[in-house]
Structure 1
């Protein structure tokens, strides 16, 4: 009988650019004060889970969040560049409003989730999905029967949710991708399945947790 790998997927805590609705992509933006608070809270929430390994995007906002999750377990976070956010190329550093006003046709294709649309210097959704599902499967396969934490970004969470629920890239998003929310999945060689999504009980003291999904 196959041993299932249990996965906890966590989006990084808040950054100043989340607040400004500015595209971070693969730019290395760290957490703001709220983000550090969220990271500590998610670390506390997971302190008594039997986490066997923690992998994180090597971008600061995810790495800083993962350190707080790792602290109670005495584990070293393992960097995984494959868990980075989607590369947005020349969109990076721009706000949503700036993209809409200066690049309306590209903004439309992005907004409509055109799977083949690739911002100049960036990744298409098709390429991004292949990267995320491949690396997440590779990491999960290393730890059959264990609980593994993956700390990454909103776009990565979106890809994992779609993989676990068998939804197409262009399906409208009806699920939350909040900062520092706890998301649970299972993995077998047949793929991902969903256990629970967007648990934010540990953030109840914060009424302003953003759900900025693309940065």
Structure 2
């Protein structure tokens, strides 16, 4: 059945950064886009330029905000930042690769790899807390725009949470879906929650897409 009051969402992951290439955990660290990421952001904006988008919301971290600004320029509206769309806070893990984390804290690395909902690195967020924060933020933003279309520009971990919410996939289930840089993902929001419409559209990027492999599920939350 149609949902006339549903909010239509374009959910976009930020463009590539140097730390994505190095598989280094970014979390709340403010790492900028690299040249490829800026190109990806422009291509994403051009792909959505003909869409009627009523509002754009972005994480306040620069890699997402710069990506969102490319979309805002393409459609001619302002970008609003919301810290609730930030990547998961990874505390002591931030700035390190998974191999470095595994060498320093093997027990913590195992809990992270197994997606223990109650685990959070020292100074960081638990997986369960992160998921609740993302879904609550996205719900609040979507509820502001019944019957309209909005864009949210965020991070790999944020997209992972929204995919799980829309697909009713358990938080501990291994990830089998892609979280490509500057990918365009489509959801609906109704009174019953989020609904998956389309995922991981990267046609606008041709072959220049950095994605996280299944091994990247260990590090994908930090994108």
Q: Same fold (TM over 0.5)?
A: yes
Q: For residue 106 of structure 1, what is the aligned residue in structure 2?
A: 108
Partner SS, residue 196 of structure 2? strand
Do the aligned residues in 2 keep the contact of 1:14 with 1:210 (CA within 8 Å)? no
Q: How high is the TM-score relative to the length of structure 2?
A: 0.94
Summarize deviations over 1:72-118 as a string: whole Å, max 9, x none.
22111001000000000100011111011111110000000000001
Equivalent residues in 2 for 1:140-179 (5 A)? 140-179=142-181
Structure 2 residue runs of 5 or longer lacking an equivalent are none
Partner of 2:82: 80
Match among 72, 88, 92 for residue 90 of structure 1 = 92
Query: How far apart, in 2, do the equivalents of 1:72 and 1:17 lie?
Result: 27
Equivalences for residues 58-73 of structure 1 within 5 A: 58-73=60-75
For residues 113-154 of structure 1, what are the alpha-carbon distances to aligned partners after superposition, in whole Å with 9 as ceiling and x for unaligned? 000001101000110011000010000000011110000000
Q: Which residue of 1 aligns with 2:126?
A: 124
- Would the aligned equivalents of 1:18 and 1:210 in 2 still touch at CA under 8 Å? no
Deviation at 1:214, TM superposition (A): 2.3
- Aligned 8 A contact 2:86 2:154 in 1: yes
Shift of 1:2: 5.8
Give unmatched runs, 5+ long, in structure 1: none
Q: CA deviation at 1:189?
A: 2.1
1:32-84 deviation per Cα after TM superposition (whole angstroms, max 9, x unaligned): 00000000000000000111100000000000000001102211100100000
Contact 1:36–1:65 under 8 Å retained in 2: yes
Cα distance in 2, alignment partners of residues 129 and 210 from structure 1: 21
How far the C-alpha of 1:205 sits from its partner, in A, is 4.5
Aligned counterparts of 1:192 and 1:178: Cα–Cα separation in 2: 20
Could you tell me which of 36, 47, 50 is aligned with 2:49?
Answer: 47
How many residues end up aligned between the 2 structures? 214
Asked if the contact 2:6–2:147 (Cα under 8 Å) also holds between the matched residues in 1, the reply is yes
RMSD over aligned CA atoms reads 1.1
Deviation of 1:188 (Å): 1.0
TM (normalized to structure 1)?
A: 0.97
